[in-house]
Amino acid sequence: MTPYRTTDDRVVLTGLGVVSNIGIGASEFAEGLRAGRSGAAPITTFDTTGFAHANGCEVTGFDPEAVLTRVPVDDLGPATRFAVAAARMAVEDAGLDEELLRGRRGLVSVGTTDGESQDLDRLVETDVRLGAGHRDTRLAERIPAGRLSSSVAAELGLTNVEPVTIGTACAAGNYAIGHGYDALRAGEVEFAICGGADAVCRKTFTGFYRLGTIAPDHCRPFDRNRRGILTGEGSGMVVMETLTSALDRGAPIYAEVLGYGLNCDAHHPVAPDRASVARCIRLALDDAGVAPAEVDLISAHGTGTKANDVTEARAIHDVYGGEPPRVVSLKSMLGHTMGAASALAAIACALAITHEFIPPTINHVETDPDCRIDCVPNQSVRADLRIVQNNGLAFGGNNAVLILGRCPR
């Protein structure tokens, strides 16, 4: 597959941190994926009066106070809380000592769509309800999206890391993981804590609603009667290091990052472009040194909108010919968690490889004949997965495709 790479040149995932609407922490998340749990429920973050329907996939049962030890919770916006908590969990899951980490050079990269837009919404709600001059000024410091990554460093007490927030919308999680991969392979850092985070907000729900892309009840990717997305929230963060580093400290390895691809449609602000998505998949496979026939599973962007699913499925067929591997959409369970989406999906892929199962596409009734894929409807299945592809497609035509593989033990 990639015989020319040395263990210094190979990058592995050794820690997973999850704040999701189907489970907090990697093991609860894995259980949720295997059970085909749904995160959908009526939205409570903001007043949904006036919308004909307003389901979403919010995180419940998450107590940041219980996880964070250094940074005061009130200093962080809701998306940053998710990111920081997930990062701390990932570091603990990797069995990494904080003192040890502090002595090493690292990268923290966090992808996001909306940053702290929920806080921006709050400012506007105050303006409308009480008039100008009543805003909570304490929100100003926590709104810049750079806080998503710099707060991870602050919480973990890491002063020798480069904190980067990547705002490439709904592909941002894959972008962030790819950035860590490049920094590690270049030998510029010794570890990377990467992923994505977003919090449900009125702005984004309303935008998708106005575009006619919010599903009335559930998200049904690849179904003939799919009606759209449900906006979701959470964070997925991973610890990455070289294979040498992981072997030296005897760390458990979930998966290897084999490569990734980035491109831009440069075509339409919101509609995905079939040829460009196919090109991005090919870029990723080439980067990983993997042939399409070697891929065992595709975790699709799979938003559940009419346009995305058929375009993405056709792009997959373009690359894979008539016989693509199984194609699942995590968004059937998690909703669209925006900047966290491809990070949570990457974690799901790593768990699927480790625990030998394929998470299902739930809420599925009848596959759209225009999509022509096996989406593993409703029930997870056992599977021996060697190579998995994780798609992230975004507004702005920002595509990012990640290839993960089982690390030979």
Partner 1 sequence: MSTPVITAWSAVSAFGIGRAAFDTGLAAPVGGVAGNADTREVPGFDIRDVLGPRGTRSMDRLTGLTLAAVAELVGEHAAVAEGTDTALVLGTTTGSAQSAMAFTRSSLEAERPFYVDPAVVPNGVMNRAAGQAAIRHRLIGPNTTIAGGRVAALQALQYAGRLLGAGRAGTVLAGGVEELTPARLWLERNSAQGRHGVIGEGGAFFAVTTDARHALADVLAVRSLALAGDDQEKAMRRCVTAALARAGVPAAEVWAVAPGNSTVELFDDAVVIAPEDRLGETGAASGALQLAAVLSTAARTPGAAGRIAVIASVEHGAVVACAVLRLRGRS
Active site residues: 170, 301, 336
Q: Is there binding between residue 160 and partner 1 (CB under 8 A)?
A: yes
Name the burial class of residue 52, with classes exposed (0-12), middle (13-18) and buried (19+) by CB atoms within 10 angstroms of its CB. Answer: exposed
Q: How far is the CB of 89 from partner 1 (least distance, A)?
A: 18
> Smaller CB distance to partner 1: residue 112 or 390?
112
Residue 314 Cβ vs partner 1, minimum distance, rounded to whole Å: 19
Find the binder of partner 1 among 7, 42, 98, 144 (CB under 8 A): 144
Q: How many other C-beta atoms can be found within 10 angstroms of the C-beta atom of residue 120? A: 17
Q: Is residue 347 within the footprint of partner 1 (CB under 8 A)? A: no
Among 34, 179, 218, 317, binds partner 1 (CB under 8 A): 179
Nearest CB to partner 1, comparing residues 214 and 344: 214
Question: Least distance in Å: CB of 70 to partner 1?
Answer: 8
CA gap 107, 324 in Å, rounded: 35
Taking CB under 8 A as the rule, does residue 174 contact partner 1? no
Of the two residues 19 and 145, which places its CB atom closer to partner 1 in the complex? Answer: 145
Contact 56, 228 (CB under 8 A): no
Asked if 191 touches partner 1 (CB under 8 A), the answer is no
Residues 209 and 286 sit within 8 Å (Cβ to Cβ): no
Binding mask 299-328 for partner 1 (x = CB under 8 A): ------------------------------
Q: 271: which residues sit within 8 A by CB, 6+ positions away?
A: 307, 311
User: Closest CB to partner 1 among 19 and 156?
Assistant: 156
What b/e string do you get for 126-163 counting C-beta neighbours within 10 Å, with b at 16 or more?
Answer: beeeeeeeeeeeebeebbebebbbbbbbbbbebeebbb
Is there binding between residue 169 and partner 1 (CB under 8 A)? Answer: yes
Specify the amino acid at residue 61: G
Query: Who's near 157: CB < 8 A, 6+ residues apart?
Result: 70, 98, 102
Number of residues that bind partner 1 (CB under 8 A): 79
Residue from 124, 307, 365, 381 binding partner 1 (CB under 8 A): 124
64 binds partner 1 (CB under 8 A): no
| Of the residues 28, 31, 92, 125, which one makes contact with partner 1 according to CB under 8 A | 125
In the list 10, 37, 81, 147, the residue contacting partner 1 (rule: CB under 8 A) is 147
The β-bridge partners of 12 are: 241, 256
365 binds partner 1 (CB under 8 A): no
Task: Output the CA–CA distances (angstroms, integers) from residue 333 to 4, 136, 237, 287, in the order listed.
Answer: 39, 35, 19, 30
Of 168 and 361, the one with the shorter C-beta distance to partner 1 is: 168
3-state SS assignment for residue 373: coil
Please report whether residue 120 would count as binding partner 1 according to CB under 8 A: yes
What are the Cα distances from residue 409, in Å, to 31, 137, 182? Answer: 24, 53, 23
